[in-house]
Amino acid sequence: MVAVASGTAALHLALLAAGTGPGDEVIVPSQTFCASVHAILATGARPRFIEINPHTLCIEEDQVRAAITPATRAILPVLYGGRAFDLSALHTTLESQGISVVQDAAHAFGSRSGTTLVGAQPGLLTCFSFGPIKNLTCGQGGGIIPRTAAEADALRGLRSLGITQSQQERAATTTYSVNGFGLRATMSDLNAAVGLVQLQHFATIAAKRKGLWTSYATRLKPLTGVALVDVDIEHTVPFNCVVHVPDRDRVFKELRSRGIGAAVHYPPNHTQPAFQAWHRPLPVTEESGRHLMSLPSTRP
C-alpha cells in the first residue's frame, strides 16, 4: 500500500497514475461524497454520473456498460457503506479500451468480495480513507493499492513532489532527484503511528461494527415504510447504517431535536451547483436521495 494524506488524495493520485487527464471522462455514481467528484476534476477530466441500485446504493455492470464512451478513461465505483461488488465481467471490455478501474473503497476497509479482501482483487487500483470516522482510522490519511510495482513507484513520486528518494535516503546524501510532477500528499508519521495501533485492534472494531449494524437490522425490521440499505453484512465491515424513510426531513429534524445524531450520506452530486455542467437525469438516485438517512454509528 502507498500511504497518502487523505482518501481524496488517494483518489486523485490513483486517477493520475491511471493516465486520467484533460478531455477524459470518468464514470462515477452521483451517490457518493463530493470528494470523489473533486478528485476527478483535479485531474482535468470530467465526471459522467450514472445510476445506482436503490437497494444497495452501488452501481452495477449494465449501468457502467451503457455509460462508456470513446472519452472514458476510468471507472470510479464507490463501495457504498462498505459493500464490495464485482465488475469482473467488464474487465475484458475495459482492458481492450484502455479503461482503468479505480475503486473508491473509502467505506470498505476490511470488507470482502466473496472470499477476497477489498484491495486484493487483481487489476484494480483501490483507494482507502483512514479519516476519523472510517473503519480503520489514522486520524487523517488514505492509502492506494497499486496494480504493479512500477505503478507503486509512480504513486510514491506523485505523493512526494516528484522526488524519488525516501526521507531516509535523502537524509543520508547531499542531493535528491525530482523526476516528474508531484504533490505534497504524504501521510505524516504521527498519523501513520495512530493507524498502526488501530490496525492491531481491527478485528475487535470490525466485530463491533457488524454487531451494531445487525442490531439495527433486527430492531428496524418491524417498522412499516423503513427500508434498510443492504450492505451484504456477511462480507462487509459496515461504515454506516442507512435507511430509506418516508418524510425523511421531518424524521431527521425530530431525531436531531432529541439529540440523536442522524445524518445524510450523501446529497446526490449531479444536483450540486458546482457540478451542474455534468448534470443528467438520474431519477433513481434523485428519489433515493430524498429518503435516505444514516443512523448513528459511532466508533467503538
Judged against a pLDDT cut of 60, whether residue 228 lies above it is answered with yes
Provide the 3-class DSSP secondary structure of residue 247.
coil
Confidence of residue 300 (pLDDT cuts 50, 70, 90): very low
- pLDDT single digits (tens) 18-76: 999 999 999 999 999 999 999 999 999 999 999 999 999 999 999 999 999 999 999 99
pLDDT digits (tens, 9 = 90+) for 66-116: 999 999 999 999 999 999 998 989 989 999 999 999 999 999 999 999 999
**Structure confidence at residue 168 (pLDDT):** 87
Predicted confidence (pLDDT) per residue in 197-223, tens digit:
999 999 999 999 999 999 999 999 999
Mean pLDDT, rounded, of the chain: 96
CA distances from 34 to 113, 115, 178, 271 (A): 25, 30, 32, 11
Confidence at residue 222, expressed as pLDDT on a 0 to 100 scale: 95
Estimate the crossing angle of helix 149-159 against helix 7-17, to 10 degrees: 120
Q: Please state the pTM of the whole predicted model.
A: 0.96
Model pLDDT, residue 118: 98
Can you tell me the distance from the alpha carbon of 268 to that of 289, in angstroms, rounded to the nearest whole number? Answer: 6
Q: Could you tell me which of 113, 86, 57 has the C-alpha nearest to residue 242?
A: 57
Residue 257 pLDDT > 60: yes
3-state class (DSSP) for residue 24: coil
Beta-carbon count within 10 A of 280 CB: 11
pLDDT-derived band of residue 152, with 50, 70 and 90 as boundaries? very high
**How far apart are the C-alpha atoms of 151 and 134, rounded to whole Å?**
26
Residue 142 DSSP code: E
Secondary structure of 172-238 in HEC code, one letter for each residue: CCCCCCECCCCCECCCCHHHHHHHHHHHHCHHHHHHHHHHHHHHHHHHHCCCCCCEECCCCCCCCCC
